[in-house]
Amino acid sequence: MGKDAMNRVSTNGLFVGFFFQIGITKKIVSETKKLMISIFRYQANLNNAIMSLKN
């Protein structure tokens, strides 16, 4: 394999690794956001239920 081909393979590997990491990070952030929204909705529903029991 020539030097140019080796550099091209190395560069492609860096790009793949970089964009793969971005994809994983975006997925984690997205799932965390969904989880937080679910938790806040649950807490709001729980608070409403408690308030209705007090009345």
DSSP 6: H
The model scores a pTM over 0.85: no
| pLDDT, tens digit, 9 for 90 and up, residues 7-51 | 676 777 777 778 888 888 899 999 999 999 999 999 999 999 999
Residue (of 2, 22, 26) closest to 14 by Cα position: 22
**How far apart (Å, rounded) are the C-alpha atoms in residues 28 and 39?**
16
Please give the radius of gyration of the chain, using alpha carbons only, rounded to the nearest integer: 24
Residue spans per domain, the chain: 25-55
Q: Which two tokens stand for residue 19?
A: 């964009």
Residue 23 has a pLDDT of 86
